[in-house]
C-alpha cells in the first residue's frame, strides 16, 4: 500500500489503464455491440484476428482511405480488411463495375465475365497462361498443390517456416520457427506430406531436393508476410527457380499478399522469376470475393476436361467460382492496377510507404522506445525491440506492448493495424495528408502514453521466465 492507503501502481499498469480508459470512452457503442454479438457470433466476431481486448471496434462504413465506426468516429484505415482494399474502400471504378454487372444476377453458370476477368489476368500477370477462379486464397493454394501433385505424380510439398498459405490443415504447420501445428484440431496425417525448411537457406533446399524424388512442389510467399515481412532476395528466388527446374519440381508462388500489391504483375514481375503456378486472392477483386490459381498451360491442363490422353485429371470445384461481383470487381481492379503501373502509381506508393516507415522509426527514436520496422512496398510491420533483426529472434518478441500501441493509435483515429495482427497495409487511396497524420498520431501516442515502460516491463517479464 502507498501513502494514505492507496495501492502502489506500477507505471505499466497506469499506462495500460490510461489507454483502455480512453478507448472505452471513445467506443461505447462498440462495447455494447460486442456484448450483444457474443450471444450470436462465436467470440463476437467473424474471425480470430478480428477479436482483440478489451473488445473490438465495430465499423459501420468505409470510404477511400477511411472507415467510420458505430460510434461515428472516423479512422485512417491501414488494415484494409487484411489487405484486399489496395484501391481503398469503394473505389469508384470498382463500385461502378459491380453496379453495371448487377442485372446479370449474383451468380450464373459460365458467365462471359469469367472470360473477361481471365483475359484481364493474362494481360496483367505474364505467367498466367491459364486460369481457374475460386473463392478464397486457401482454396487457391489447396488447388495449386493438388495440381502440382497430379502433374508430377509425387506426394510431398516443401513449405517454409514463417510462410502462411491459408487455413487448410496441410499448411497449418511451421508458421513460426517451430514445426508445431498452429492451433488445435490439426491432425498429424493432414500435414504428413508437408516438409518444412528454413526460408532463405538454399543449401538446405538443395540437400532436400537432392536426396528425395517424392517432392511435387516448393510453395512460398515471396514477402514472407505472415512470418514478419522478411521478403525474398532476388538471387535466392532465381536459384530456387533453377534448382526446381533441374529437379522437375514445380515452383508455386503464393501471391495472395504480394499479387497486384508489389507491382501490377506481382512479386514475380519485381524479382523477374517465373513460377509454374501462382495463387491470387485479396487485391485481385479489390475487396469482393474472388481468388485464382494460374500458371503454365502444360500444368494447368490437369484441370482441363479436354486434356491430352495420359494427363492426370484433377478435381477442382467451388459453388461461388462464378460470382458476378467478384469477377466484375476483378476486371475493374486489374485495369486500374495496370493504369497505376503505367502512370507511376506503384513507385509513388512505395515512396510514400518508405517515408511512413522512416517517420515511424524517427518517432520511436525520439521517444527512446525500441522499434524495428520492416517495410516492403506498401506493407509494414513493427517490432518493439532493439535485438538484431531475424525471423527466429523476432518471432519470440512479446507483442503485448505493441497491441496496446495499436489500441492507443485507435484512440487517435488511426487503425494502423488490428492489435492482434501487426499487418499494416497502405493503399492507392491514402493521401500525403493521411501519411502525415499517421506519423503525427504515432508521435502523439508516444508522447501521451508511456509505451517505453510497457516494452521494458514486458521484456523483463520475458527475461524472468527464461
Residue 132 near residue 297 (C-beta atoms within 8 A)? no
Q: Which of 15, 73, 127, 138 binds ligand PLP (CB under 6 A)?
A: 138
The site string for ligand PLP over 390-419 (x = CB under 6 A, - otherwise) reads ------------------------------
CA distance 315 to 449: 55
Kindly indicate which of the ranges 105-113, 133-141, 375-383, 413-421 contains the residues binding ligand PLP, using the contact rule CB under 6 A: 133-141
> Cβ closer to ligand PLP: 159 or 452?
159
Name the grid cell of 323.
460470382
Least distance in angstroms from the C-beta of 369 to ligand PLP: 28
Distance of closest approach, residue 257 Cβ to ligand PLP, in angstroms:
5
Binding mask 272-301 for ligand PLP (x = CB under 6 A): ---------x--------------------
Of 166-205, binders to ligand PLP (CB under 6 A) are 166
State the minimum distance, in angstroms, from the CB of residue 109 to ligand PLP. Answer: 23
The site for ligand PLP, by CB under 6 A, has a size of 14
All three cell numbers of 11, joined, read 507505471
For ligand PLP, the binding residue among 56, 62, 111, 137 (CB under 6 A) is: 137
Closer to ligand PLP at the Cβ: 48 or 298? 48
Instruction: Please tell me whether residue 378 adopts helix, strand or coil conformation.
Output: coil
Q: How far apart are CA 168 and CA 190, in angstroms?
A: 9
Of the pair 197, 441, the CB lying nearest ligand PLP is at 197
Nearest-approach distance from CB 67 to ligand PLP, in angstroms: 19
Rounded to the nearest 5 degrees, what angle is found at the Cα of 295, between the Cα atoms of 289 and 296? Answer: 160
**DSSP string for residues in 299-319:** HHGGG-TTPPTTPPPPP---T
Least Å distance, CB 225 to ligand PLP, is 6
Give the span between the Cα atoms of 205 and 194, in whole angstroms. 14
| Distance separating alpha carbons of residues 98 and 114, to the nearest angstrom | 14
Grid coordinates 498452429 are at which residue? 182
End-to-end, the C-alpha distance of the chain in Å comes to 30
Report d(CA 406, CA 77) in Å as an integer. 12
Nearer to ligand PLP, 111 or 266 (CB): 266
Write down the least CB distance from residue 264 to ligand PLP, Å: 18
Q: What CA–CA distance (Å, rounded) separates 444 from 440? A: 6
Please identify the residue of the shown chain whose CB is closest to the bound ligand PLP.
137
| Distance of closest approach, residue 50 Cβ to ligand PLP, in angstroms | 12
- Nearest distance from C-beta of residue 223 to ligand PLP, angstroms: 8
Q: Which residues pair with 425 in a beta bridge?
A: 379
Q: Does 165 bind ligand PLP (CB under 6 A)?
A: yes
| Interacting span for ligand PLP (CB under 6 A) from 64-72, 130-138, 298-306, 368-376 | 130-138
DSSP 295: E
**What values do phi and psi take at 239, rounded to 5?**
-65, -40
In DSSP terms, 156 is beta-bridged to: 215
**Spatial contact of 209 and 172, defined as CB atoms under 8 Å apart:** no
Binding residue for ligand PLP (CB under 6 A) from 164, 260, 425, 449?
Answer: 164
Closest CB 234 distance from ligand PLP, rounded Å? 19
Sort strands 130-134 and 59-63 into parallel, antiparallel or unpaired: unpaired
Nearer to ligand PLP, 320 or 413 (CB): 320
Q: Is 300:128 a contact under the CB 8 Å cutoff? A: no
CB of 337 to ligand PLP, least distance (A): 18
Alpha-carbon dihedral of residues 43, 46, 49, 51, nearest 10 degrees? -40
- Residue 219 vs 453, nearer CB to ligand PLP: 219
Please state, in angstroms and rounded to a whole number, the distance separating the CA atoms of residues 415 and 405.
11
Site for ligand PLP in 209-268 (CB under 6 A): 221, 225-226, 254, 256-257
- Given the rule CB under 6 A, which residues bind ligand PLP? 136-138, 141, 164-166, 221, 225-226, 254, 256-257, 281
Amino acid at each position: 500500500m502507498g501513502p494514505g492507503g492507496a495501492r502502489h501502481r506500477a507505471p505499466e499498469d497506469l499506462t495500460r489503464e490510461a489507454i483502455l480508459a480512453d478507448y472505452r470512452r471513445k467506443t461505447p457503442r462498440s462495447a455494447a455491440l460486442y456484448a450483444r454479438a457474443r450471444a450470436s457470433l462465436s467470440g463476437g466476431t467473424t474471425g480470430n484476428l478480428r477479436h482483440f481486448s478489451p473488445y473490438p471496434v465495430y465499423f459501420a462504413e468505409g470510404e477511400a482511405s477511411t472507415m467510420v465506426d458505430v460510434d461515428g468516429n472516423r479512422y485512417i484505415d491501414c488494415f484494409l480488411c487484411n489487405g484486399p482494399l489496395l484501391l481503398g474502400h469503394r473505389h469508384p471504378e470498382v463500385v461502378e463495375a459491380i453496379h453495371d454487372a448487377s442485372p446479370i444476377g449474383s451468380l450464373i453458370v459460365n458467365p462471359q465475365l469469367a472470360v473477361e476477368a481471365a483475359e484481364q489476368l493474362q494481360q496483367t500477370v505474364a505467367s498466367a497462361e491459364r486460369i481457374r477462379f475460386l473463392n478464397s486464397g486457401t482454396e487457391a493454394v489447396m488447388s495449386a498443390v493438388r495440381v502440382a501433385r497430379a502433374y508430377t505424380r509425387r506426394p510431398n510439398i516443401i513449405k517454409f517456416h514463417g510462410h502462411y498459405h491459408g487455413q487448410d490443415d496441410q499448411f497449418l504447420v511451421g508458421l513460426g520457427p517451430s514445426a508445431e501445428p498452429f492451433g488445435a484440431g490439426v491432425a498429424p496425417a493432414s500435414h504428413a506430406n508437408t516438409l518444412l525448411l528454413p526460408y532463405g537457406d538454399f543449401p538446405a533446399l538443395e540437400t532436400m531436393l537432392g536426396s528425395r524424388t517424392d517432392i511435387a512442389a516448393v510453395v512460398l510467399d515471396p514477402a514472407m508476410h505472415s512470418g514478419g515481412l522478411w521478403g525474398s532476395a532476388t538471387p535466392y528466388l532465381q536459384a530456387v527457380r533453377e534448382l526446381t527446374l533441374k529437379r522437375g519440381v514445380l515452383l508455386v508462388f503464393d501471391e495472395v499478399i504480394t499479387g497486384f500489391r508489389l507491382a501490377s504483375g506481382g512479386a514475380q514481375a519485381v524479382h523477374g522469376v517465373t513460377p509454374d503456378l501462382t495463387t491470387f486472392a485479396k487485391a485481385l477483386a479489390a475487396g469482393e470475393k474472388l481468388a485464382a490459381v494460374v500458371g503454365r498451360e502444360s500444368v494447368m491442363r490437369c484441370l482441363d476436361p479436354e486434356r491430352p490422353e495420359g494427363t492426370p485429371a484433377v478435381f477442382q470445384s467451388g459453388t461461388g467460382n462464378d460470382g458476378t461481383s467478384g469477377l466484375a470487381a476483378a476486371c475493374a481492379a486489374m485495369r486500374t492496377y495496370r493504369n497505376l503501373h503505367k502512370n507511376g502509381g506503384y513507385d509513388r506508393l512505395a515512396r510514400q510507404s518508405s517515408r511512413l516507415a522512416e517517420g515511424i522509426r524517427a518517432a520511436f527514436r525520439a521517444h527512446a522506445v525500441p522499434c524495428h520496422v520492416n517495410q516492403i512496398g506498401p506493407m509494414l510491420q513493427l517490432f518493439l525491440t532493439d535485438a538484431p533483426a531475424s525471423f527466429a529472434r523476432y518471432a519470440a518478441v512479446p507483442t503485448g506492448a505493441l497491441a496496446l500501441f495499436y489500441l492507443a493509435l485507435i484512440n487517435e483515429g488511426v487503425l494502423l493495424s488490428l492489435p492482434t495482427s501487426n499487418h499494416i497495409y497502405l493503399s492507392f487511396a491514402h493521401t500525403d495528408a493521411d501519411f502525415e497524420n499517421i506519423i503525427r498520431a504515432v508521435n502523439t501516442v508516444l508522447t501521451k502514453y508511456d509505451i517505453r515502460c510497457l516494452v521494458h516491463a514486458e521484456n523483463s517479464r520475458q527475461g524472468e521466465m527464461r
